Amino acid sequence: MLLRRVLLPSLFLFLLMACSHHNPQEHQMFYANEIDLQQKWLPFLEDGIRKEVVESRLGRPFLRYEDGRIWTYTMHLEEGLLEPAPWGPYCLVLVFDEIDILEKHSLLRFRR
Is residue 9 assigned to a domain? no
Three-state DSSP at 59 gives coil
Contact 104, 47 (CB under 8 A): yes
Say if residues 93 and 66 touch (Cβ distance below 8 Å).
no
Q: Quick one: pLDDT at residue 29?
A: 39
Domain for residue 18, yes or no?
A: no
Range of the domain at 89: 23-109
Q: What is the pLDDT of residue 111?
A: 72
> In this predicted structure, what is the pLDDT of residue 33?
66
What pLDDT does residue 17 have?
A: 45
* Spatial CB neighbours of 7, under 8 Å, sequence gap ≥ 6: none
Q: How many domains are there within the chain?
A: 1
Looking at residue 48, what is its pLDDT? 94
Q: Is residue 2 assigned to a domain?
A: no
- By residue count, the chain amounts to 112
Across the chain, what does the average pLDDT equal?
Answer: 76
* Residue 7 counted as domain residue: no
37 found inside a domain:
yes
pLDDT at res. 76? 86
- Cα→Cα distances 89→29, 68, 75, Å: 15, 23, 7
CATH code, domain with 72: 3.30.1450
* Residue 61 resides in a domain: yes
Is residue 8 one of the residues assigned to a domain? Answer: no
User: Residue 65: inside a domain, yes or no?
Assistant: yes
The pLDDT tens digits along the chain (112 residues) read: 554 455 545 544 444 344 334 444 444 434 446 777 777 888 888 999 999 999 999 999 999 999 999 999 998 887 777 888 888 888 899 999 999 999 999 888 877 6
